[in-house]
Amino acid sequence: MAKLRKLFSKKAVSPVIAVVLLVALTVAAAAIIYFVVMPMLSVNYELVLLSQTYEDVNEDDYADKMILEFQNLGGSESSITDILITKFSLDLSWTTDATLPSSIGIQGKRSFVLTADTFNDAIKYGDIVVVTLMSGEDSVIIAQLDVPAIYSPFVIMYDENFDGMPDGERPEDWVYTLIATHGGGTHTILDWEVQNDEFRCTKNDCNYLLLDNDLYTFSNVNMSFALKANDDDIMGIIFRYQEVNGDPLFYCVVFSNDHTLTDGRNGPHYPNGDTMQSGKLYLMIISGEGGSGSSNGALTILDSVAWSRNDNTWYNYKVVAAGSNIRVFIDGDLKLETTDSTLTEGKIGIMCGANNNALYDNILVWTGV
């Protein structure tokens, strides 16, 4: 108050201006308390999604019912006023069995049963589905749902998630295919192994791995792979692999933030002198003579797009090839599309180059496209 009296006593500041300044300061302080301090004191809950289960009530191969269980790990009760479901950022209409608002006490658990209002609101594998719990105008939890692969309009022909497989083992029927090596050396199928229910390359250059079983030779391809990199080097997926006159020929989707495939130490070369750029996702054809020479193999780019891949992040790569039309999706977003009739059928596989931190999981192939 001494400072305020001093302010009023100055002849340079009129009493009216001083009052205006005082009111402004008071309003600002109140706003800070109301909008900043009070929310920090009152919002003391932390909701986590414990489990999610799904049902196909209408028997149309889509999930139209789900049970979501949440727990409040915070220090105060939470009040849920609304539950929002979105698919690819579009609002869906789902009805919950709960009467809202609904409270979850401290350390309490609560399950919500939700059902899709129409067929168009149902969800399937590959959809990017997000659930948001609201408390008034504030979202208290945002979680991305993991829709199981069985919820698809197509029949699963191949399914490998490496779960329960002992560390150091490899799934059946996978073989090593050599086109070029990273600076020479010897590489075999033993360079690949399961660790913590994930399939990974254990050396700096594992090259190409093929699902070598005639039962899994596909023409129209509808396949999905989960990929994660812990560095900036090459990794990707293979489809319609076949051998022509004893030499490999196949399509692949590949990405790198560092190395390219422009020289023998990282893989096939360009017969036309083009340059594959870092920071781009590519759809290409690779051909090779096998063997281990640095000049073996050549590639042809069919389509490319600038893209950014974060380390330690899982991405879902999906390829849909119907006849000559080929589309590539990343996390549900269409990234590449082209028409090419060079190969009409073949096997599937995975690849990496100069990347011993490449991880692969949830490999799925469906019958239809």
Reduced 3-state DSSP string for 286-341: EECCCCCCCCCCEEEEEEEEECCCCCCCCEEEEEEEECCEEEEEECCEEEEEEECC
Average of per-residue pLDDT across 111-123? 94
332-351: pLDDT as tens digits: 889 999 999 999 999 999 98
pLDDT in tens, 270-329: 444 445 777 889 999 988 754 444 345 677 889 999 999 998 899 999 999 999 999 999
User: To the nearest whole number, what is the mean pLDDT of the chain?
Assistant: 79
* pLDDT beyond 90 at 367: no
Position 305 scores a pLDDT of 95
pLDDT at 361 over 70: yes
With beta carbons less than 8 A apart as the criterion, state whether 130 and 142 touch: yes
Contact residues for 334 (Cβ-Cβ < 8 A; gap 6+): 327, 328
Q: Which amino acid is it at 167?
A: D
Residue 295's pLDDT is 43
- Structural domains in the chain? 47-145 (2.60.40.10), 156-366 (2.60.120.200)
DSSP string, 167-185: TT---TTEEEE-S--SSS-
